[in-house]
Structure 1
Amino acid sequence: MDPVVHRRMVEPGIGLLELDRPERLNAISPQLLGELHAALAELAEDRECRVVVLTGRGRGFCAGLDLQESHGGDTVPDRMRLQKRIASLVPALRALPQPVVAAVNGPAAGGGLALALASDVRIAGESARFGNAFVRIGLSGGDVGVSWLLPRLIGASRAFELLLTGRVVDAREADRIGLVSRVVPDADLRESALAVAREIVANSPFGVRMTKDVMWAQLEAGSLAAGIALENSTQIAASETADQTEAARAFLERRPPEFTDS
């Protein structure tokens, strides 16, 4: 059986994670689910990869769970195990030390929407569509972390409307409401995502990792004081690294820094 998730380095420090079920708009099958979990576990230990670009091959980013595939038993415990297995992709993406840039092509629906929301940066091709239609088929719009992530990205008012109606958002609206960083022609999508990845790779590895950790942690911080305390500790830790000294020296000498992740 050919793999349906591909992970490879495309440039120094930049890895590409590509879903490859284009005939099903990269919908989540048991095979894709297992391979994606395995790829994320490998990335978490990969010190050579410093940024990940996540995308789907063909006309879709990820159309959610593939209902034409058998996902195991049909009892409530079976379905709960599957639900937890899919939902655990979101914290796995969050826990990666590398920032994840989602290059969203075509539909990002259901679990596919969750993958996009759990990424750190989202860039949309003009064909991108974002939706969570569970409420239209008698289920809750709260699924796979979407009801936690979406209001933190676009605000509670807009998130309520989208999840209660199940309405699909096109790329232009996604840009207007702050769901994505930018919209580009589909032909330019991958290169645009790589350009953002290059900008990230140009920064110190430890500083980038701490920035990702702090930004996600601040979404759950209970107070301004707690948030500042977290910033203080990570900032002082970063100031003691060799890379911070190198960055300061390179700035004074007007040259690119040479980071060693130390």
Structure 2
Amino acid sequence: MASPLQYGDPPRLGPFVIQARLHSMPAGFVYLGQADDGRAVSIALLTRGAALDGAARDRFVTAVRESSPRRGTVLTGPAVLESDLGEAPWAATPYLPGRPGAERYLEPVMVGGILLGEVHGPDYVPYWLTDRAPALPGAGRAPRPATETRRRVLLALGVLLALLLMGVVIAILLFRGLDETEPLRRPLPPTVFEPTPPPTPESQQPQPEPSPSPSQSTPGGTSPGLPPGEESDPGDEI
């Protein structure tokens, strides 16, 4: 079912005027166009993401070339009326309501999952799938910016050197100002260490030995001063 054109759709592709959208597929769009003689055509155009991918673009080009009429071959689909297989490839076929048209060229662009026995592997999702804008001819690459002239380059270099020199001068002035404002510090007098004399040992004087005290006489004992074995005379005690 045809739908109105949207922002970004091309108004014209080759000799065909784009009138409406017929299909919106992951790899591209199918438009309803009109030739100069009034014939209705179905035009397949890749998305910008698919057109920038070399492998996806090659699959689209291969599908278009295989549908081209060759000697000794039988066409299984509609014939290609006009095509552009450059950076933004597209192909146009006659439009027949209710029959497949140019969308058959977009189907091989997508790659499905891998079949491993009875279990399917993870589905392959192309990195360009999010770029859904139509690939417009001549708008694939952005124009290169104009190069600066030699005069402008030299002027910019001179300004840069002047700024660097100014920064160096400001840094020198700041360091000199800090040195001048800092007060001068007087050096401290040197510390003189005087050694302490060692202590002299005190002389010890010999102490006299204590004399033995006279022992008192005991009854029935000997008198002091007499040799043992001699008894004192009782008359001597008086």
Please state which structure has a larger fraction of its residues in helix: 1
The question of a shared fold, defined as TM-score above 0.5 by the shorter chain, is answered with no
When normalised by structure 2's length, the TM-score is 0.25
